[in-house]
Amino acid sequence: QKEVEQNSGPLSVPEGAIASLNCTYSDRVSQSFFWYRQYSGKSPELIMSIYSNGDKEDGRFTAQLNKASQYVSLLIRDSQPSDSATYLCAVNGWNAGNMLTFGGGTRLMVKP
Amino acid sequence: EAQVTQNPRYLITVTGKKLTVTCSQNMNHEYMSWYRQDPGLGLRQIYYSMNVEVTDKGDVPEGYKVSRKEKRNFPLILESPSPNQTSLYFCASSSDRGGYEQYFGPGTRLTVT
């Protein structure tokens, strides 16, 4: 069983729509959660971090965390073609020491 | 400019020929780590370091060595590369010893024939 799971996609949304990306994790004591964006051929870029239950907003991005259900999501409002990329969910927990465990990523395609 | 740099960016080598991929950060970060990224397997952590002279294994350490003699540098060493180490490698660093909010270098694409 993978520790961090994401739907590989592709998730296709029209320009201007809300893109919703989901991630589930298996380690109940996970503490910190991150979303990275990775364009094809480039390195992952940190876009959001969330540490407590609830929502965290940053511009067009909102991260949502529900520790009881062990999922974290990323909403992208007013999606733009430039948002087309692979989004990686990453989790850091006590059981993992100081390691970051990544999901396989969801490929997002925003169509003009 | 705050950044993580890796060298070389591209490397083609032969089985068994020792190689080193360098990683350097100019942000005075405590934490540094190495990952490999493979299609279908995602990003997997190889080694990490929480401070100078402190290193620990990640998920896939076999076949790799690291050292942390200076805070800014964290080289990845392949003593005897094999074709299954053909991959895209990323170095990352974080200001937090726990490895939160890691920032990635540009990547090194390694091919072992």
- In this complex, which of A44, A98, A99 lies closest to B97 when CB atoms are compared? A98
With CA atoms as reference, report the closest residue to A33 among A2, A76, A4.
A4
- Predicted pLDDT of residue A3: 87
- Predicted pLDDT of residue B40: 83
* Confidence at B103, pLDDT banded by 50, 70, 90: very high
The answer to whether the Cβ–Cβ distance between A102 and B44 falls below 8 Å is yes
Q: Which two tokens stand for residue B38?
A: 């493979």
- Predicted pLDDT of residue B42: 86
Best residue of A88, A98, A102 to probe chain B, by most B CBs closer than 10 Å: A98
- DSSP, collapsed to helix, strand or coil, labels residue B6 as strand
Give dist(CA A10, CA A15) in Å, integer: 15
- DSSP, collapsed to helix, strand or coil, labels residue A96 as helix
| Long-range pairs for B60-69: beta carbons < 8 A, 24 or more residues apart | B60/B36, B64/B34, B66/B34, B68/B32
C-alpha dihedral over A55, A84, B26, B63, to 10 degrees? 100
Task: Say how many CB pairs under 8 Å bridge A and B.
Answer: 53
- In this complex, which of B56, B100, B106 lies closest to A32 when CB atoms are compared? B100
Q: State the amino acid at position B38 in one-letter form.
A: D
With CA atoms as reference, report the closest residue to A89 among A9, A11, A18, A6.
A6
Give dist(CA B110, CA A79) in Å, integer: 34
Tens digits of pLDDT across chain A (112 residues) = 568 999 988 999 999 999 999 999 987 777 889 999 999 989 999 999 999 999 999 999 999 999 999 999 999 999 999 999 999 999 986 555 567 889 999 999 999 9
